[in-house]
Amino acid sequence: MIGKFVAADTISPQLTTRMIKKGISVINTYKVVCAAFNHHGDLLGIVSNTFRNDNVKPARFAGYHAEMRALHRWGTAIKSLVLMRTGRSGDILPIDCCPKCEAVLNKLEIKVFKIRV
Ligand SMILES: [Zn+2]
């Protein structure tokens, strides 16, 4: 298992608010948000997972996990990620990396902090 589970209050209230806001905007049942930081600890940005519909040929970047979208956007500038899952009303739900993302992040030695409930 990759990364550490951390309490929501270990990240700034501003970041928590921004991540939850982003989470609510995801139309999937599973709403995952990921904040990427560089080696200075500066926030690169926040991305969410994207909608996937197996009946429709996915558009570019459709159905991607938040972690992979962050990687696609910022590449090796990323040193750490904060991962959060939210509910529809902005509540924080349990989250863990899937094995695919985990393998990639491990290889790139990106630290992962998963917000625990
Ligand atoms: Zn994944």
Coil/strand/helix, residue 17? helix
Domain that holds residue 107: 4-116
Distance from the alpha carbon of residue 49 to the mean position of ligand 1, in angstroms: 9
Distance from the alpha carbon of residue 105 to the mean position of ligand 1, in angstroms: 10
Distance from the alpha carbon of residue 98 to the mean position of ligand 1, in angstroms: 4
Looking at residue 61, its pLDDT comes to: 46
Looking at residue 22, its pLDDT comes to: 96
Residues 65 and 71 sit within 8 Å (Cβ to Cβ):
no
pTM: 0.88
CATH number (domain holding residue 87):
3.40.140.10
CB contact set of 65 (below 8 Å; sequence gap of 6+): 32, 49, 98, 100, 101
Distance from the alpha carbon of residue 16 to the mean position of ligand 1, in angstroms: 21
For the stretch 57-107, pLDDT in tens is: 555 545 789 999 999 999 999 999 999 999 999 999 999 999 999 999 999
% of the chain at pLDDT higher than 90: 77
Residues 12 and 52 sit within 8 Å (Cβ to Cβ):
no
- How many domains, the chain? 1
Looking at residue 56, its pLDDT comes to: 53
Distance from the alpha carbon of residue 28 to the mean position of ligand 1, in angstroms: 14
Q: Which of 70, 79, 90, 82 is nearest to 26 (CA)?
A: 90
Distance from the alpha carbon of residue 42 to the mean position of ligand 1, in angstroms: 23
For the stretch 2-58, pLDDT in tens is: 789 999 999 999 999 999 999 999 988 889 999 999 999 999 999 999 876 554 555
